């Protein structure tokens, strides 16, 4: 399974990424082994994700989300949280 995810950084900024292991990737961010962007903005909190059957699909979606405005991302996150509250508890 491949994932596109959004984490909220300690400075309230949002970071969008791709992974094939969501839990491990969020842990890597919080252990300063994730993206350069998040290293100085710890801790991060997983607030959104989507599942895909192929890396190609996930990377395409990541590109689309990264091009969204902050407001559009927040709207996406809001609709996700409403429908998937319990899915974010593993992190």
Which domain CATH number covers 27? 3.40.1440.10
Domain carrying residue 29: 2-88
Please identify every stretch of the chain with a pLDDT value under 70, giving residue numbers as ranges: 82-91
User: What is the length of the chain?
Assistant: 91
Q: What is the value of pTM for the model shown?
A: 0.89
How many domains does the chain fold into? 1
pLDDT digits (tens, 9 = 90+) for 34-52: 899 999 999 999 999 999 9
Structure tokens at 63: 């590109």
pLDDT computed for residue 83 by the predictor:
67
pLDDT computed for residue 91 by the predictor:
44
Cα within 13 Å of Cα(43), Cβ side: 8
Cβ neighbors of 58 (< 8 A, separation 6 or more) are 2, 3, 4, 18, 50, 52
DSSP state of 68: S
pLDDT computed for residue 81 by the predictor:
76
- Which of 58, 64, 57 has its CA nearest to residue 19? 58
């Amino acid at each position: 399974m491949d994932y596109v995810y959004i984490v909220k950084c300690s400075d309230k900024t949002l970071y969008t990424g791709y992974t094939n292991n969501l839990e491990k990737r969020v842990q890597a961010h919080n252990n300063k082994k994730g993206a350069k962007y998040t290293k100085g903005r710890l801790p991060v909190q997983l607030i959104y994700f989507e599942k895909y059957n192929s890396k190609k699909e996930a990377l395409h979606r990541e590109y689309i989300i990264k091009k969204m405005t902050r407001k559009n991302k927040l709207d996406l996150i809001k609709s996700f949280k409403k429908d998937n509250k319990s899915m974010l508890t593993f992190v």
